Structure 1
Amino acid sequence: MRATLAMMIIAAAAVLAVFLLRSTSPPSTSYSTARSGWALPALSGHGTVRLADFRGKPLVLDFYASWCTACQTELPEFLSVDKQLGGRVQFAAVDSEENGDGVGFARRYGITVWPLARDVGGSQSSGLRDALESTPGMPITAFYDSNGRVLRVRLGALSGDALAAQITQLYGVSAT
């Protein structure tokens, strides 16, 4: 009886230890979801995507999710505008509140050259998406100036024409 009780205690301690180790992030990894100065894990699982990486050119940051039907329409149009701009404006995308294959989703819609990140804290409403826009809904587009300052945040899908108009208005750059 004592041996069985001891084995149950040891087994429970082992399960608890495994759970605690798996739910703890490595201490060397530091992510931030501040509106300006954010640093998010790369969606590929390797490295970090930081706002500071984009300094020097304006940035369009698109938040998407595989369940978002508007995102499925919006992403290819954003890619088209990006190509028309010829690198004068930077684009990146953040997989928000996603448990699925965010990289596969982005690739399916032609997003292969943009930096892709994962929003941390999204399911707890403490991610970058929520720091930028507290109203629920997807997609969200954030426009940053070349110094990393948020100029505008748009909730809802943007057509390619609407995106190009926003870029012209905010950055003075026209898609050709």
Structure 2
Amino acid sequence: MPGKINYQFEKIGTIKTPYQKDAPYQPVDTQEGEFYIEINPRYEDGLKDLEKFHYMYVIFYAHCINREPEMEVFPPWADGRIVGVFSSRSPARPNPIGLSIVRIKKIIENRIYTSGLDVFDGTPLLDIKPYIKDLDNKSDANYGWIEEMDDMEHLSLHIKGIPHDY
């Protein structure tokens, strides 16, 4: 079927962060500030037993992206290398859906308090899923094209979201 197919998603909650204009490229586990997800009260029962996991996937709509996606992108830390958008983590994508893995600190009623999130305050939440040890950890995963870069030590700081001087 050629052309666009429209789908509708319901926002199931809102992500609260201290970020108004700038957000990190990756979630930072030790980031200072208050980070939480407020689930629509009608979905609160769906949080049962989530606190038994250490981490979760956060799936969100990147509503602040205001540029058209390009199929070739320049990751800011990749020294001018051009890669396909689907081999990058660029937020400007054909469907601006984001995915982050964060630590679950505590859950109080319909609020999930987390480690640092890499989204703007007020980001619409589409879904959450538990991160399950062994199922979600692939021992043979690699760094793909990033392994070909000259300064892997420096790049690993970007990959891990660790603040540093360039």
Normalized per residue, the structure richer in strand is 2
More helix by share: 1
Flag the structure with larger Rg.
1
Q: Which has the higher contact order (CA 8 A, sep 6+)?
A: 2
TM-score (norm 1): 0.20
Taking structure 2 as the reference length, what is the TM-score of the superposition? 0.21
